[in-house]
Amino acid sequence: MELTKHGHACVVLSEGDRRLVIDPGAFTDPAALDGASAVLVTHEHADHLAPDVLRRALDADPALEVWTNGSVAERLAGAGPRVHVVGHGDAVTAAGFEVHVHGELHAVVHPDLPRIANVGFLVDGAVFHPGDALTVPDEPVATLLLPVHAPWSKVSEVVDYVRAVDADQAYAVHDGLLNDDGLRVVGTLLGEGGPGTPTPYSRLAPGDSVEL
């Protein structure tokens, strides 16, 4: 399986001619959806979901399907049965990949703000994208896609999350609001300059790929 970073929270998992796109939001080049076999969307925030862009992709490819939570499906109303609603505990097949769904709610941004739905996706028992939550799946994770920066998080929580998931490796996502200095600081704290985790941490620049 090949993992390609496409900016901020979006990644593409590919194997052969299958391309599974996760969270192609407003900070992601719409070209990330070119040739997509299926799309997974964790939640409705604009940095994870660009409804008009996704609608155009669905219109352009009658075979394209989307798996997401109910609130995102409402934002895509009219797209028909190709938009599938999933929730915690579900197991589905998307573009030939086995996908297990974990989690229910977005992380707390502030106690005065309502929490929205958020689901994480574990693909082929190997790669976990939690969306905007620090969900710990109740099954092993080989590769964790780690949200390293957000209005709802702090680095100490991210470190503890890496420890809790205990994956074999972690790659940064949700880093589109950090400049080079911020990326360096976060990388240091998640690496040898921090308090320590059992999981090696790396960051792919947008457009970079790695074989898993």
Q: What's residue 187's pLDDT?
A: 97
Q: Which residues contact 190 (CB under 8 A, 6 or more apart)?
A: 146, 148, 155, 158, 159, 162, 170, 197, 201
Q: What integer best gives the mean pLDDT of the chain? A: 97
The CATH classification number of 2-211 equals 3.60.15.10
Chain segment 43-63, per-residue pLDDT in tens:
999 999 999 999 999 999 999
Angstrom distances, CA of residue 106 to CA of 14, 118, 153: 27, 5, 11
Chain segment 53-112, per-residue pLDDT in tens:
999 999 999 999 999 999 999 999 988 899 999 999 999 999 999 999 999 999 999 999
**Domain limits, the chain:** 2-211
